């Protein structure tokens, strides 16, 4: 950030009074521009025991596999965001279930929130952010080509829950390393 | 947003190619400025069966009671944010427990995330964003003067969980109305 989005003047990094963190403050109008972590919302879409994954057609991690997920938008709930991302990336309608994984991706300034989900019907396709989408059995999951640690965490905990017949558990973890 | 924070030129609201939502796009350098929901993180700090609440010294809802909570900052985890807010608002150190409530406050473009917590020691005080802080038994909670619906939801579900001896349950709800 170099300029004030309110008045167009330059900004400087300074710690406002009663604050402890440096913020971009406008040199002219004094508006403080706060920057905060963003929410990435996604789901593990299940259909007849298989999981729907998307091969990314965008950077970062072009060509790697992910569950449907993306930045939560204003005016939507977490569940609506997860369903929207699935529709966009995999052209699939899902019924969103419980939240089961939360990952703090500290270095990326993101919190990833993952839901269980079920395909409604059996239609799916390839959204413009995907190169390919496919239903995988547990044995077929391309572990060496998973896009992000948070996706791996979501898949591993989801599969462990299923193996143990477990629901209702919220898995939380923190990644402080930069993403691969 | 009126000006580009990257180059200082004016921005216009338009829907970028391959997008479905209008964004502020710079008329000169073309940078797209995304706006997304923010995370409010807080906790219900318990001490010897009582709950520590803070009377707000800031708007909105000046003079009303809340649990310690505030905007999550970059470079911290959800748990670290909840502990930091408790230290700032109530000068109390807490051990953060499980996440038990998530509230989509759609109109405010916020997701509120609430944790269980326990005071470490018995020291607490009045931070600069508070007029007063106090430990309340269940019967003493000032229900008519609670600052936000998400705080009410957190307190109600926390108390219900305690009454039923229940842990590990994640309560989720959505508020689409403007805050009172």
Whether B38-175 and B1-35 are alike in CATH topology: the answer is no
Q: β-strand B38-47 against B69-71: which pairing, if any?
A: antiparallel
- Residue-wise pLDDT for A120-140, tens only, equals 999 999 999 999 999 999 999
The pLDDT profile of chain A, 180 residues, written as one tens digit per residue, is 999 999 999 999 999 998 989 999 999 999 999 999 999 999 999 999 999 999 999 999 999 999 999 999 999 999 999 999 999 999 999 999 999 999 999 999 999 999 999 999 999 999 999 999 999 999 999 999 999 999 999 999 999 999 999 999 999 999 997 655
The arithmetic mean of pLDDT across residues B163-168, rounded, is: 96
Answer for the pair B2, A7: CB distance below 8 angstroms, yes or no: yes
Q: Which residues of B touch A98 (CB under 8 A)?
A: 170
Work out the minimum CA distance from A139 to partner chain B, whole angstroms.
30
Which tens digit of pLDDT belongs to each residue from B24-71? 999 999 999 999 999 999 999 999 999 999 999 999 999 999 999 999
Determine, for residues A78 and B102 on separate chains, whether the beta-carbon distance falls below 8 Å.
yes
Residue B180 has pLDDT above 70, yes or no: no
Provide the pLDDT for residue A58. 96
Note the pLDDT of residue A162: 98
pLDDT of res. A145? 98
Q: What is the DSSP string of B68-102?
A: SEEEPPTTS-HHHHHHHHHHHHH---EEEEEEEEE
**CA gap A46, A136 in Å, rounded:** 9
Residue A162: count other Cβ atoms within 10 Å of its Cβ: 16
CB-CB under 8 Å, A73 with B37? yes
CA distance B145 to A124: 49
Q: How is chain A split into domains, by residue range?
A: 1-35, 38-175
Nearest chain B residue to A97 by CA: give it: B172
Confidence at residue A125, expressed as pLDDT on a 0 to 100 scale:
98
∠ CA B58-B60-B64, rounded to 5°: 75
The rounded distance, in Å, linking the Cα atoms of B68 and B53 is: 7
- Residues from chain B that touch A34, judged by Cβ atoms under 8 A, are 71
| Strand arrangement of the beta sheet that strand B23-26 belongs to | B11-14, B23-26, B32-33
Looking only at the bridges linking them, the beta strands covering A94-105 and B23-26 are unpaired
Which site among A22, A74, A150 would you substitute to test the B interface, given the most B Cβ atoms closer than 10 Å to its Cβ? A74
Indicate yes or no: CB of A74 within 8 angstroms of CB of B33. no
pLDDT at B144 over 70: yes
Distance CA B16, CA B7 (A): 19
Residues ≥6 apart with Cβ < 8 Å to B164 = none
pLDDT tens per residue, range B26-37: 999 999 999 999
Q: Do B71 and A6 touch (CB under 8 A)?
A: no
Rounded to whole angstroms, how far apart are CA atoms B61 and B81?
21
What does the mean pLDDT of chain B come to?
A: 96
What does residue A63 show for φ and ψ, rounded to 5 degrees?
85, -5
- Judge contact between A161 and A100, C-beta under 8 A: yes
* Domain with residues A1-35, CATH architecture: Single Sheet (2.20)
Min Cα distance A140 → chain B (Å) is: 31
Interface-testing mutation among A19, A40, A106, A111, with chain B (most B C-beta atoms within 10 A): A111
CA dist A51 and B2 (Å) reads 43
Q: Note the pLDDT of residue B162.
A: 98
Domain covering B38-175 in this structure, CATH number: 3.90.79.10
pLDDT for A18: 86
- Would you call B2 and A1 a contact, using CB atoms and an 8 Å cutoff? no
For residues B45 and B177, give the distance between their C-alpha atoms in angstroms, rounded to a whole number. Answer: 27
């Amino acid at each position: 950030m170099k300029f004030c989005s309110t008045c167009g003047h330059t900004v400087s990094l300074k710690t406002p009074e009663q604050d402890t963190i440096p913020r971009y403050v406008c040199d002219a109008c004094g508006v403080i521009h706060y920057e905060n972590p963003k929410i990435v919302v996604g789901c593990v879409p299940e259909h007849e025991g298989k999981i729907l994954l998307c091969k990314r057609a965008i950077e970062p991690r072009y060509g790697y596999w992910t569950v449907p997920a993306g930045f939560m938008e204003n005016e939507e709930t977490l569940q609506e965001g997860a369903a929207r991302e699935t529709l966009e990336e995999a052209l699939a309608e899902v019924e969103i279930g419980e939240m089961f994984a939360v990952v703090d991706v500290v270095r990326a300034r993101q919190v990833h929130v993952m839901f269980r989900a079920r395909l409604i019907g059996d239609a799916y396709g390839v959204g413009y952010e995907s190169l390919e989408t496919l239903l995988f059995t547990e044995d077929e999951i391309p572990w060496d080509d998973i896009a992000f640690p948070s996706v791996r965490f979501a898949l591993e905990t989801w599969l462990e829950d299923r193996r143990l017949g477990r629901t209702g558990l919220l898995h939380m973890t923190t990644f402080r390393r930069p993403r691969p």
